[in-house]
Amino acid sequence: MTQRLTYGMIGGGTGAFIGEVHRRAVSLDDRATLVAGALSSTPEKSKQSAHLLGLAPDRSYGRYEELFEKESQREDRVDFVSVVTPNDTHYPIAKMALEHGFHVVLDKPATHTSEQAAELAELARAKDLMCCVTYNYTGYPMVRQARAMVRGGELGNIRKVYAEYHQGWLAGDLEASGQKQASWRVDPKRAGLGGALGDIGTHAENLVSFVAGLDIESLHASLSSFVPGRALDDDASVMMRFANGGHGVLTASQVCIGEGNGLSLRIHGDKGSLWWNQERPDELRISMLDRNPETYTRGGPGLHEDAQISSRIPQGHPEGYLEAFGNIYKGAIDTIIAKRHGTELSRMAKLVPTIEDGERGVRFVERCVESAKKNAQVSWA
């Protein structure tokens, strides 16, 4: 019988988008059960949400501090916690979780400052705990195929990278309507330094890093706030020079009317190129020098093991966002079990984005904001 874990959730109460996503992503493979939670910003709402989710009253906590204190004293304490609160609270919650000995699944972007992320990383290493960050787009099988091909040298030396994350849902002044998702994302106190940059630009940055493993040496960013009164950027463009001599262009925008969740990646090497688009995630287009382009598909021929193990159903039966998200949890659960038994990490576990990836993401935002303020190129280090 497959080993099952239990987990607790901080945030993700009624009406929260990402908390439900996390729960469904876990449910999909049914390897962990939600048994505890501090789900909302007030004890009342937390308990109400916990009741709706069927949590036992004694594990329906009013505040996260309570959860950590009480759970850490239970014999059947949760195996890990998922932190799905707004950005500004990630750091104190994750810190307390780690200090109490819990493995942590942290929503992105990890923290407000790169120092905070670095501190969490150190704490996790010191306590030999997992602290992973749900850069969920890395969970797509064809993203993992792309990674295997680029890192295996199939495209040669990488010259040019285009990463885009374009949405349109903040094209109007949605925050004025009090829409919950919009409100905190445009508030510097809660969202952090970056608007679109932090919310989605970091996904694009992470995708480049995950797939191509390139180090940014310097960058020049240009940020705009197109909707009047918006304090943070709702549109960002970044040119990057990589350590290998390659060049990248990353754009993230939330004011592109007509774009749903337009995350895409194009990588051009001196031997070949790839194209991937989150809205058609089961396809990966590959074009090698002097050959016709081929389309790799999830479940199809010629896939690397990392792509194969990340797929649940056959070719042509679409998988989507939740399935990719579930792969992060699969790897996280594998990691926890491996740590418990002192065994080697599975392939699935090795693919999980870590707090170190989260730290790099936050630093990316910091560097972009610095560059935009100076209106000049800045170096990464």
CB of 192 to a copy of itself, least distance (A): 22
**Of 263, 252, 274, nearest in space to 159 by CA:** 274
CB of 381 to a copy of itself, least distance (A): 17
Based on CB atoms, which residue is closest to a copy of itself, 240 or 351? Answer: 240
* Of residues 68 and 296, the one with the C-beta less far from a copy of itself: 296
* Residue 60 tokens, joined: 């329906």
Q: What is the nearest approach in angstroms of a copy of itself to the Cβ of residue 86?
A: 18
Q: What is the CA radius of gyration of the chain?
A: 20
* Residue 73 beta carbon to a copy of itself: minimum distance, rounded to whole angstroms: 26
Give min distance, CB of 15 to a copy of itself, in A. 14
- Whole-angstrom distance, CA of residue 168 vs CA of residue 218: 29
Tokens of 301: 């021929």
CB of 80 to a copy of itself, least distance (A): 18
Least Å distance between CB 151 and a copy of itself?
18
Helix (H) or strand (E) holding 265: strand 262-269
Q: Toward a copy of itself, which CB reaches closer, 69 or 226?
A: 226
Q: Which is nearer to a copy of itself, 121 or 303 (CB)?
A: 303
Task: Give the CA distances from residue 358 to residues 108, 252, 313, in Å, rounded to whole numbers and listed in that order.
Answer: 7, 18, 30
Show Cβ contacts of residue 374 under 8 Å, excluding neighbours closer than 6 positions: none
By beta-carbon proximity to a copy of itself, the closer residue of 101 and 153 is 153
Beta-carbon neighbour count of residue 289 at 10 Å? 11
- Count helices and strands in the chain by DSSP H and E runs: 14, 14
Shortest approach of a copy of itself to residue 137 CB, angstroms? 10
> Rounded to an integer, what distance in angstroms lies between the CA atom of residue 110 and that of residue 132?
9
Are 268 and 288 in contact by the 8 Å Cβ rule? The answer is no
Instruction: Please say which residue, 301 or 342, places its beta carbon nearer to a copy of itself.
Output: 301
- Give the number of other Cβ atoms within 10 Å of residue 177's Cβ: 9
Question: CB-wise, 317 or 350, nearer to a copy of itself?
Answer: 317
**Dihedrals φ, ψ of 82, to 5°?**
-105, 125
CA distance 313 to 261: 23
SS3 359: helix
**What tokens were used for 369?**
């904001």
Q: How far is the CB of 152 from a copy of itself (least distance, A)?
A: 17
CB count in 10 Å sphere of residue 95: 18
For a copy of itself, which is the closer residue by CB, 229 or 342?
A: 229
For a copy of itself, which is the closer residue by CB, 280 or 339?
A: 280
